[in-house]
Chains A and B, each alone.
Chain A
Amino acid sequence: MKNRLKVLRAERDWSQQDLADRLQVSRQSVNAIETGKYDPSLPLAFKIAELFALAIEEIFASPTKD
């Protein structure tokens, strides 16, 4: 699933490990989500959205829309 995670992370000057620590997940998870190889569960998507103070759809592009 396409997402803006890398951009949002870069805006805050966070490394993948920084973001992983904040989300309490592995760096591998952050990398897999950023590259669209893994779609996070709804609880993790909410956690990501809350961390960036954004709505889920402002971070993740709906797979049913272009």
Chain B
Amino acid sequence: MPRYRSPAMRRYVIRLAVLMTAYVVLLFGSIRLFQQSHPTGVAAYALAVAPALPIIGVFWTVMRLLVEEQDEFVRMLLVRQSLIATGFCLTIVTVWEFLQNFELVPPGNGGFGAAFFWFMGLGVGALYNKLTVGSSGGC
């Protein structure tokens, strides 16, 4: 059965592909430059923040999908998926922070930040939609 692909969904997929490509380039570029040039001051901050920009772009592109999607049922699924992702992410991060506050787990997050858990939450949201409404949405 062909999966529903609205114009908004197609734009979302293209934006996501561009942003993920930019993320990989900026992440490996920043790592390489930090190792080779040991930047300091403003340059170091700019380089450290650079890989976060495409991730912020992904948040924007998900929100644009919610605005641009014309099919009300699919939009409802996407909203549910995003809310579940937000709740999932906040729950994990909050619990982890309290575990850190009581020094039960080491500081840092091993590279798995809030964005990672939000994207994982999108998967949980899609599964929840599939189980409760019989359709996963598409985000």
Contact = CB atoms under 8 A, between A and B. Distances in A.
Interface of A: 24-29, 31-33, 35, 37-38, 40-41, 44
B6 to A, nearest CB: 7
Given A26-B4, A26-B6, A28-B4, A38 B133 contact: yes
B72 A40 contact: yes
Given A26-B4, A32-B135, A38 B76 contact: yes
Contact of A37 (B6, B71, B74, B133): B133
B134 interface: yes
Instruction: Kindly state the interface size class of chain B when it binds its partner.
Output: 10 to 19
Interface of B: 4, 6, 70-74, 76, 133-135
Contacts of A29: 71-74
A39 to B, nearest CB: 10
Contacts of A35: 134
A15 to B, nearest CB: 12
Nearest to B134: A37
A25 B135 CA distance: 14
Most buried by A among B4, B6, B73, B135: B73
Nearest to B5: A26
8 contacts: A25-B72, A26-B73, A28-B74, A29-B72, A31-B134, A35-B134, A38-B73, A41-B72
Contact of A32 (B6, B70, B134): B134
B73 A25 contact: yes
